Structure 1
Amino acid sequence: MDEKEIIIIAAIAIPISLVVIVIVLFSVFTRRKNRLLEEQEKAKKDFDRELAESQIEIREETLRNISWELHDNIGQLMTLAKIQAQMAQEKPEMMKEVSETIGTGLNELRALSKLINPEALKSLSLKEAVGLEIERFNRLKFIAAELTVKGTVTPIESNIQIILFRILQEFFSNTIKHSKASTLKVLLDYSDNVLTILAEDNGVGFEKTDNFMGIGLKNMKTRAQLINSTLKIKSVKSKGTALHLKYKFT
């Protein structure tokens, strides 16, 4: 094969090779792009599903709280007011006690009304929503609860806020129902473009074999991952449990 033939073959082969390379690269790029789009679509569906479940769970928890407070708290206050009113027919000086009991009942109803609207959380900041939970725990003497806020409160997109609130609500629920704790401390720290949430109780703690560790923690971690936040739960048997969450503002 002479030099001229080699040049002709090279002149043909090089463009063909370039075309093949371009086709291969385009094919690889297309597959990666499609895979990325599929992953993004899956992530969106996962987020929407968890958001919907969080909203449903918050409403269910709210309805349970309302039902309990109406029956066991406000109902008892109104029954007491009725008894006092009947006694006041013979002892008019007791009317002051009747008025005070009714006033307490009205205050309880006002506090409860903030939770009745299922869309209420969307109009509240995370600080306000958590504050209502803490206020309720103290008002009903469930536990000695305390909320501390540091830094300048930064607005959070409502869907993210719902998931953050549900994570905390699930932790609170386990504290109230299972921990046998006497204190609950919550910190919301808005610093350096990061929201750090710390919630800790002084309860009995749990081990890895406990149901809370298997189911509750899994749900909380899944939701934390969906909003690109980090979540750690540390529990020491007989000493208590602590939640540590970091959410970076975008």
Structure 2
Amino acid sequence: MQENGGFILIVSTGLILIIVIALIILFTTFQNKKNILVEERKRTKEEFERTIAETQIEIREETLRNISWELHDNIGQLLTLAKIQLQSATAEDIQEVSKTITKGLTEVRALSKLINPEAMSTIDLRDAVQLEIDRFNRLNFIASTLEISGQERDIEQKSSIIIFRILQEFFSNTIKHSRASQLKVSLAYSNAELLIIAKDNGVGFSSEEKKEGIGLINIKNRAKLIGAKVQFNSEKNKGTALEIHYKL
């Protein structure tokens, strides 16, 4: 009986040791995986913050390029025209000179909204897109419209920055490469998502063609950071459309 009792004790002790060792291994494995997950989350957060910072810089650079162009070509031309008008102006011509100067002041006020760093760091998606649309129309780049439908809802600030940069890239390609005469942008709000569609009536491209400069991979990677999905639809000589699906 004592031998049986001793055997049972040894077996029991062995089983307990095995269970303890297994628990230690499981706990260690769990802790290691937890630490790896924490590190991955930290890296993801750092990458996200870095991308946001880079995107803000890109937006500012694009905005400053636009401002530089407008100062040189648009406002510069208006001031030159006003100077020429003044040199040969009569009393009857003063009204035309006044109109030219007023137009120049309007352009300067529009630029002041874009150059404000605080405005760019607290960007509102609708206002930012509207400023771009207004600029295209003001400078006769392309006939542009913005349509809003559904009940507007607040969008997380960093998501707004990413979405606006994606649209900015699309706008840039439309103006530089599409030879389009019209650009239509719509923001459609629903309970589940915000659907953004930007469409031009330019030359488009077929699925077999490689569209240089469109930056599709870059755009998709940006969208992925905020849990959004993007899709390009294009047909030869029928324009290009960009769809952004952002979950609210």
After TM superposition, the score normalised by the length of structure 1 is 0.92
1:209 and 2:201 equivalent?
no
Contact (CA 8 Å) 1:194, 1:247: kept in 2 or not?
A: yes
| CA-to-aligned-CA distance 1:216-246 (integer Å, 9 cap, x gap) | 1111111111111111122222211111111
Counterpart of 1:147, as a letter, is L
Counterpart of 1:151, as a letter, is G
> Match for residue 240 of structure 1?
239
Alignment of 1:1-250 (within 5 A): 3-88=4-89, 91-206=90-205, 207=207, 208-213=209-214, 216-249=215-248
Cα distance between partner residues in 2 of 1:233 and 1:5: 76
The CA deviation at 1:130 is 0.3
Cα distance between partner residues in 2 of 1:203 and 1:22: 65
Cα distance between partner residues in 1 of 2:225 and 2:32: 25
Counterpart of 2:239, as a letter, is G
| CA-to-aligned-CA distance 1:155-195 (integer Å, 9 cap, x gap) | 22222211111111011111111111111111111211421
Counterpart of 2:177, as a letter, is H
Q: Aligned-residue CA RMSD in angstroms?
A: 1.7
Cα distance between partner residues in 2 of 1:48 and 1:220: 17
Contact (CA 8 Å) 1:125, 1:155: kept in 2 or not?
A: no
Contact (CA 8 Å) 1:198, 1:243: kept in 2 or not?
A: yes
The CA deviation at 1:67 is 0.8
The CA deviation at 1:123 is 3.8
Runs (5+) with no aligned partner, structure 2? none
The CA deviation at 1:198 is 0.9
Cα distance between partner residues in 2 of 1:123 and 1:225: 22
Cα distance between partner residues in 2 of 1:111 and 1:162: 20
The CA deviation at 1:124 is 4.2
Cα distance between partner residues in 2 of 1:3 and 1:106: 103
Counterpart of 1:146, as a letter, is T
Counterpart of 1:189, as a letter, is A
| CA-to-aligned-CA distance 1:71-125 (integer Å, 9 cap, x gap) | 111111111111111111xx21000100111111111111111001133134442
Aligned-residue sequence identity (percent) comes to 56
Cα distance between partner residues in 1 of 2:56 and 2:136: 21
Counterpart of 1:236, as a letter, is E
Report how many residues are paired. 245
Cα distance between partner residues in 2 of 1:4 and 1:197: 76
Contact (CA 8 Å) 2:149, 2:188: kept in 1 or not?
A: yes
SS at match of 2:88: helix
SS at match of 1:198: strand
Contact (CA 8 Å) 2:123, 2:160: kept in 1 or not?
A: no
Contact (CA 8 Å) 1:154, 1:190: kept in 2 or not?
A: yes
Contact (CA 8 Å) 1:122, 1:158: kept in 2 or not?
A: no
Q: Report runs of 4+ in structure 1 exceeding 6 Å deviation.
A: none
Contact (CA 8 Å) 2:56, 2:121: kept in 1 or not?
A: no
Counterpart of 2:25, as a letter, is V
Counterpart of 1:149, as a letter, is I
